[in-house]
């Protein structure tokens, strides 16, 4: 069981002891810290916060605790109830709210939940803001409202439909072209809120939908991280249904992966590549992804005469660099699309609509489209951390061993070799070291990962 406090929020497993897991007391404490920070930042004016959740079993409990804590601070709440991360993000500015809280542990298994915190633009807080909230929580420096000044809850459960309309209104989304293409798509939404909103979007665009695990029960039928080893069922169903492709989202619908018509993975790294290829073909410009993302985005961006930059891992870091470099599209290689015309947040609805429009315009099969992109293969591994392990020391030792190579220490250690790369970093959301490698064959990427894992174990020993 675990509780992880970071600048991006608080994440932990349900149950257990206070301070060691995400218990009701921990939930209240961090919701109170966020509300207190908002009040200080806005000089205690009457505040409004949007709250939504994914379909996790613990979601309703955590939501009630969070909302009632905010009410106790005198803050009004817009209750979206069952929702998605990008839906809450777009709701904050549309509601002219002062902030937002998304109750989701993203791709983590069902025993996890989290409070993910937004500013008044519907964007994740920066490091300085997150650190201040952690300090408030540690000091328990709360000042709750008198009975006459308590906040109130306003229920707005229709925001996923509003989100769909916002996506359909985007300039580069053409629902009419998609309708004429008569696509058939299989959707795996891992029994969370994507099972409601993704099929609804597809149907609005005239797509025939085959649903797989689309009941929002919170009982995930497989590991919710959209990786190949977890997606055998949808790969088989795409072939059985003779579908044009399959579509997978994680529980909070900010990560998107495709399966081609042959039941083969398109590659979650290539979700962003394909969407960027389409957007750049219409509106040339710059792109950004993080250090752990594929080189393929760089190649596609250069093909369209744009500039590519890499940020530290973390959505807030990608967004910050996108704004600085005037990027017209960006995101993360885990299937996260950030399209500023919609909003500055990873959004599977936006990615789905752009991808469908792209396919409808070019008339190609998904497998044909994939073959047009540079062939890179990635291996994603991790090492579990034991208490007291000096992670910084381990990464320093790796850096020293490869000092003759092209090294970035912007976020962990990334080593760019001539034909491949490896990125080692401590996760912000799990007690692990992530080890990402990329090369021109899967075997080479896997071999490089094995080599680096062995090297780290030697250092630890």
Could you tell me the residue ranges of all domains in the chain? 3-157, 163-371, 377-460
The pLDDT, as a whole number, for residue 429 is 66
Residues 167 and 350: beta-carbon distance below 8 Å: yes
Q: Has domain 163-371 been given CATH number 3.20.180.10?
A: no
Q: Each residue's pLDDT tens digit in the chain (461 positions)? A: 578 887 668 999 999 999 999 999 999 999 999 999 999 998 867 999 999 999 999 999 999 999 999 999 999 999 999 999 999 999 999 999 999 999 999 989 999 999 999 999 999 999 899 999 999 999 999 999 999 999 999 999 999 999 999 999 999 999 999 999 999 999 999 999 999 999 999 999 999 999 999 999 999 999 998 888 999 999 999 999 999 999 999 999 999 999 999 999 999 899 999 999 999 999 999 999 999 999 999 999 999 999 999 999 889 999 999 999 999 999 998 899 999 999 999 999 999 999 999 999 999 999 999 999 999 998 989 888 777 778 889 999 999 999 999 999 999 999 999 889 999 998 866 778 899 999 999 999 999 999 999 999 888 87
Q: Looking at residue 391, what is its pLDDT?
A: 85
Contacts of 188 (CB under 8 A, 6+ apart): 212, 213, 214, 231, 233, 234, 246, 247, 248, 249
Catalytic site includes residue 6: no
The residue from 83, 106, 292, 348 that is catalytic is: 106
Fold of the domain built from segment(s) 377-460: TATA-Binding Protein (3.30.310)
CA distance 62 to 155: 16
Specify the pLDDT at position 252: 97
Instruction: Give the model's pLDDT for residue 1.
Output: 54
Cβ contact 347:338 at 8 Å: yes
Return the CATH class of domain 3-157.
alpha beta
Q: Tell me, yes or no, if the two domains 3-157 and 377-460 fold the same way.
A: no
C-alpha angle 394-396-400 in degrees, rounded to nearest 5: 120
């Amino acid at each position: 069981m675990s509780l992880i406090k970071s600048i991006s929020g608080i994440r932990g497993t349900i149950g257990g002891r206070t301070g060691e897991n995400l218990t009701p007391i921990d939930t209240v404490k961090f919701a109170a810290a966020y509300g207190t920070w908002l009040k200080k930042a806005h000089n205690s004016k009457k505040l409004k916060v949007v709250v939504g959740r994914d379909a996790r079993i613990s979601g309703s409990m955590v939501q009630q605790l969070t909302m009632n804590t905010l009410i106790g601070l005198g803050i009004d709440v817009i209750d979206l109830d069952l929702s998605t991360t990008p839906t809450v993000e777009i709701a904050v500015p549309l509601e002219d709210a002062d902030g937002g809280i998304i109750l989701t542990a993203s791709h983590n298994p069902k025993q996890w939940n989290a409070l993910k915190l937004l500013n008044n633009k519907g964007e994740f807080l920066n490091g300085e803001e997150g650190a201040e909230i952690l300090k408030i929580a540690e000091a328990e420096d709360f000042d709750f409202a008198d009975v006459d000044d308590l906040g109130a809850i306003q229920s707005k459960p229709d925001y996923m439909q509003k989100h769909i309309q916002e996506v359909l209104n985007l300039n580069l989304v053409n629902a009419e072209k998609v309708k004429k293409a008569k696509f058939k798509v299989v959707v795996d939404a891992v029994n969370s809120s994507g099972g409601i909103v993704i099929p609804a979007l597809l149907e609005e665009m005239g797509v025939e939908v085959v649903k797989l695990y689309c009941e929002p029960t919170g009982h995930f039928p497989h590991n919710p991280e959209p990786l190949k080893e977890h997606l055998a069922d949808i790969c088989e169903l795409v072939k059985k249904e003779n579908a044009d492709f399959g579509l997978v989202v994680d529980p909070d619908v900010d990560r998107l992966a495709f399966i081609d018509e042959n039941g083969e993975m398109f590659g979650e790294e290539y979700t962003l590549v394909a969407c960027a290829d389409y957007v750049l073909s219409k509106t040339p410009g710059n792109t950004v992804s993080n250090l752990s993302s594929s080189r393929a985005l760089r190649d596609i961006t250069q093909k369209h005469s744009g500039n590519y930059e890499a940020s530290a891992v973390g959505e807030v870091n990608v967004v910050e660099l996108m704004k600085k470099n005037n990027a017209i599209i960006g995101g993360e290689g885990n299937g996260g699309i950030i399209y500023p015309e919609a909003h500055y947040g990873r959004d599977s609805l936006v990615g789905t609509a752009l991808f469908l429009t792209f396919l409808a315009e070019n008339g190609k099969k998904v497998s044909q489209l994939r073959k047009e992109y540079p062939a890179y293969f990635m291996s994603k591994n991790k090492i579990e951390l034991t208490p007291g392990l000096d992670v910084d020391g381990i990464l320093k030792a790796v850096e020293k061993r490869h000092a003759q190579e092209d090294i970035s220490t912007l976020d962990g250690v990334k080593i760019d070799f001539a034909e491949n790369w490896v990125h080692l970093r401590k996760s912000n959301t799990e007690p692990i070291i992530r080890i990402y490698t990329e090369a021109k064959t899967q075997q080479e990427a896997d071999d490089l990962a094995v080599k680096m894992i062995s090297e780290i174990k030697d250092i630890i020993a």
